[in-house]
A and B are shown apart, each in its own frame.
Chain A
Amino acid sequence: DVKVTQSSRYLVKRTGEKVFLECVQDMDHENMFWYRQDPGLGLRLIYFSYDVKMKEKGDIPEGYSVSREKKERFSLILESASTNQTSMYLCASRDRDYSPLHFGNGTRLTVT
């Protein structure tokens, strides 16, 4: 089975801090994704990576950046955390187009 591991289940950070969310997948998938999930807004795509060092902006990239130095690892970076970035963050990977996404268990981030 594909395993997507997010390093933290819960994080509490202060406004202005730099925050790193880490995601690792073990199936050599090309594509990796970061979503945030908020009540009433569903899942929204932040960034997408289709290969090492390659990335594309999703629907809501403002305030975020990403890093993919190795195929198995995709990091989401909040350069200066703000309270409106309090959310559930979900990482996912997939092999190719038409393949299903495989999700991690999520990181619930609270910014105070």
Chain B
Amino acid sequence: AQSVTQLDSHVSVSEGTPVLLRCNYSSSYSPSLFWYVQHPNKGLQLLLKYTSAATLVKGINGFEAEFKKSETSFHLTKPSAHMSDAAEYFCVVSHSGGYNKLIFGAGTRLAVHP
């Protein structure tokens, strides 16, 4: 069965330090993978997407993610956290075949301290 696991429900970093949000997936197929960010009382905004091109994907706001097939991982990173990065982050897997192949992770809440 397909699944997505976000390994940390909460991550806390200091401003200016690196961010690592971890995501593992299981899939029998070649997936498309996405990271979304959600600020309080807002919808989800696409940060970046992997669709079988380059394994290192750059997104908005300085975020990037690396697809590692051997580790079935798609971790999100940023070299230097900013206060505005504090939000909830979702890893999502999409396979062919319609709506029922969109699988959301449970989310990771990122706190950024001054």
Contact = CB atoms under 8 A, between A and B. Distances in A.
Interface in A12-42: 31, 33, 42
A87 interface: no
Given A42-B107, A90-B43, A100 B98 contact: no
Interface of A is mostly: strand
Interface in A48-94: 48, 50, 56, 58, 90, 92
A43 B94 contact: no
B41 interface: yes
B59 to A, nearest CB: 11
Contact of A43 (B49, B98, B104): B104
A95 B7 CA distance: 30
Chain B interface category by residue count: 20 to 34
Contacts, number: 57
B46 interface: yes
Contact of A90 (B34, B44, B102): B44
A49 B45 CA distance: 21
B112 interface: no
Interface residues of A, number: 24
A33 B43 CA distance: 13
Interface of A: 4, 6, 9, 31, 33, 42-43, 45, 48, 50, 56, 58, 90, 92, 97-98, 100-106, 108
19 contacts: A4-B43, A6-B43, A45-B99, A50-B98, A56-B98, A58-B100, A90-B44, A97-B96, A97-B98, A97-B101, A98-B32, A100-B49, A101-B44, A102-B46, A103-B43, A103-B44, A105-B43, A106-B41, A106-B42
Interface of B: 32, 34, 36, 41-46, 49, 51, 90, 92, 94, 96-102, 104-107
The 8 A-B pairs at the shortest CB distance, nearest first, are namely A103-B43, A48-B99, A103-B44, A105-B43, A98-B32, A43-B104, A100-B46, A106-B43
